[in-house]
Amino acid sequence: MSFVEYGDTIKDGDTAIVFLGHESMFPVKVQHGTVTQTKYGVIRHSTDLIGKKYGSKVTCSKGGWVFILHPTPELWTMNLPHRTQILYSTDISIITMMLELKPGSIVCESGTGSGSLSHALIRTVAPTGHLYTVEFHQQRAEKAREEFREHRVEHLVTVTNQDVCKNGFGVSNIADAVFLDIPSPWEAIGHAKSALKAEGGRICSFSPCIEQVQRTCLAMEEYGFTEINTLEILLRVYNVRTISLQIPDLGKAAEDNSSTGFDSSSPSHQGSPCTNLQQGTVQFKSGVPLREVVGHTGYLTFATKS
C-alpha cells in the first residue's frame, strides 16, 4: 500500500479506510491479531482484511457490512487526525493547478501541519518529483515523518523542523513552486524567492485574514514577483430531492372543452388524463442547496518569480 501507488490486496501494516457511508468513515492500520469496533460489529484484521481486495464488502460481527477502501490523498484529508486546521480539497485543487504542478516538480511547503496538502502535493509530483516541507513545531514535524513512512512516500518528501521565516527551506534555486501557510508569510517571501528556480517559479500564500494578504502582496512586489492575484474559493453543495408540487388551476375543464369542441360526457373521453392533471400533483427531481454551507476558508495569493 502506498498513497501514490495502488495495491490490489490488503496487507499487514497497510493504512486502509473503513467506509460506513459518505458521512461516516475512518482510517485503520491493518495488523495481525487486531480487531476494530464499528457500529455494525467487530472487524477482525487477520480474517476479514488481510489478503482481501481493496474495495471489498466486509461483513461485521453483528451482520452489518462496510467497505474497505484504498487510501488516497482525498480520503486522507477527510479522515486524518487533526493536529492543526487543515486545507480541504476545494482549496487543494486550485493550489495544485495554479502552481502548475506535475510529475517531476520540486515543491517547497511551510508549514506541514497535519499533512493534508502534503499528501496531495506528493501524489501530484510523484514519481520523480520531491516535496521539501518545513514545520516549526517539533512534535508535529516528527509525527509527519512517521506518517510519511507508514504511507510509504518518505522517498518523495523531506521534513525539516525549523523556522522558515528565519532559516528558509534549506534549498536554493531548485523549486518549481513554493506554498506558504504560516501566520506571517510576508516574512518568508525572501526565502521563498531564494528557493525558487532562477525564473518562472510560482508561489502561493494561504491566509485567512485580508490584512495578511495585503502585507504579503506588498512583500511580493518588493521582491520583484509579478502576476500577483488573490482568489477566494467558495463551495456550494446541492442535494437532489424529490419534490411534489400541486398543479396550478388553469381554469375549469368544462370551459376548455367547450372552446375546443371536446365533449366530456362522451364515454370515450371520460377519465381523460387532462381532467386528472387539473386536480393532482406532480413529482420531479430538484437540486436544493444545503441550509448551512461552509463559507470563507482563506485567501489564496499567487505570484510568479520574474
- Tell me the pLDDT tens digit for each residue of 104-125: 999 999 999 999 999 999 999 9
Structure-model confidence comparison of residues 156 and 251, the more confident one? 156
Residue 28 has pLDDT above 60, yes or no: yes
114 is in an annotated binding site: yes
Q: Which of 15, 10, 45, 46 minimizes the C-alpha distance to 28?
A: 15
Instruction: Could you please state the CATH topology (level 3) that the domain comprising 75-232+297-305 is classified under.
Output: Rossmann fold (3.40.50)
**Are the CB atoms for 174 and 94 separated by under 8 Å?**
no
Structure-model confidence comparison of residues 83 and 256, the more confident one? 83
pLDDT at 290: 80
pLDDT at 24: 93
pLDDT at 249: 74
135 is in an annotated binding site: yes
> 9-71 belongs to which CATH class?
alpha beta
The mean pLDDT of 23-40, rounded to a whole number, is 94
Banded model confidence at residue 276, pLDDT cuts 50, 70, 90: very low
The mean pLDDT of 272-283, rounded to a whole number, is 60
Residue 132 has pLDDT above 60, yes or no: yes
Residue 12 has pLDDT above 90, yes or no: yes
DSSP 57-100: EEE-TTS-EEEEE---HHHHHHHS--SS----HHHHHHHHHHTT
pLDDT at 293: 73
When the pLDDT of each residue in the chain is averaged and rounded to a whole number, the result is 90
2 is in an annotated binding site: no
pLDDT at 277: 47
Residue 171 has pLDDT above 70, yes or no: yes
pLDDT at 246: 85
For 245-260, the pLDDT digits (tens) are 888 777 765 455 555 5
115 is in an annotated binding site: yes
Residue ranges, CATH 3.40.50.150, the chain: 75-232+297-305
For 184-239, the pLDDT digits (tens) are 999 999 999 999 999 899 999 999 999 999 999 999 999 999 999 999 998 888 88
Banded model confidence at residue 10, pLDDT cuts 50, 70, 90: very high
Residue 14 has pLDDT above 90, yes or no: yes
pLDDT at 8: 94
The mean pLDDT of 163-171, rounded to a whole number, is 96
SS3 12: coil
**Are the CB atoms for 3 and 71 separated by under 8 Å?**
yes
146-149's contacts with Cβ under 8 Å and 24+ in sequence apart are: 147/115, 148/115, 148/118, 148/122
Residue ranges, CATH 3.10.330.20, the chain: 9-71
pLDDT at 243: 84
Structure-model confidence comparison of residues 108 and 22, the more confident one? 108
pLDDT at 287: 87
Give the integer Cα–Cα distance in Å for 208 and 219: 17
Give the integer Cα–Cα distance in Å for 271 and 222: 80
